[in-house]
Structure 1
Amino acid sequence: MSYLVPINIYKRKSAWSKSLEVSWNNGQLVLDSANTNYSYGSLQRVLRKGLKAIGFEKVVAMDHILVLGVAGGSVVKTLVDEVKFGGRITGVEIDRDVIQLAQTHFGLDKIPNLEIVIDDAFEFALRTRERYDLIIVDIFQDTVMPNFLFEKFFAQRLGDLLLPGGFLLFNTMILTPEHEARNAKYVGKFNPALFHVKQLPRTESHNELILVQKQS
Structure 2
Amino acid sequence: MFKKLLSYFIPVNIYKKNSAISQKLEVTYNNGQLVLDSKNTNYSYGSLQRILRKGLDYIGFERIRGFNNIIVLGVAGGSVIKTLAEEIKFHGKITGVEIDPAAIEIANKYFGLDKIENLEIVIDDAFEFVLKTKEKYDLIIIDIFQDTQMPNFLFEEFFIDRINFLLNVNGFILFNTMTLTQKDFDRNLTYRSRFSSKYSVRMYPKVETHNELFTIKKLG
**Same-fold call, TM > 0.5?**
yes
Q: Match of 1:108?
A: 113
Gaps of 5+ in 2: 1-5
Q: 1:54 aligns with which of 47, 56, 59?
A: 59
- Deviation of residue 17 (structure 1)? 1.4
Structure 1 segment 1-216 matched on structure 2, within 5 A: 1-192=6-197, 194-216=198-220
**Paired residue type of 1:81:** E
Distance 1:202 1:130 in 2: 33
Encode CA deviations 1:96-126: one digit per residue, 9 max, x unaligned: 1110111011001100000000000001001
RMSD of aligned Cα (Å): 0.6
- Deviation of residue 201 (structure 1)? 3.1
Encode CA deviations 1:142-201: one digit per residue, 9 max, x unaligned: 000000000011111111100010000000000000000000000011112x11111013
Give the paired residue count. Answer: 215
Identity of aligned residues (%): 62
8 A Cα contact 2:205 2:211, kept in partner: no
SS in 2 for 1:13: strand
Distance 2:95 2:89 in 1: 16
Gaps of 5+ in 1: none
**Paired residue type of 1:158:** I
Distance 1:210 1:72 in 2: 21
8 A Cα contact 2:76 2:103, kept in partner: yes
Q: TM-score, normalised by structure 1?
A: 0.98
Moved over 4 A (4+): none
8 A Cα contact 1:156 1:190, kept in partner: no
SS in 1 for 2:19: coil
**Paired residue type of 2:189:** A
Encode CA deviations 1:43-97: one digit per residue, 9 max, x unaligned: 0000000000000000011100000000000000000111110110000000011
- Deviation of residue 132 (structure 1)? 0.2
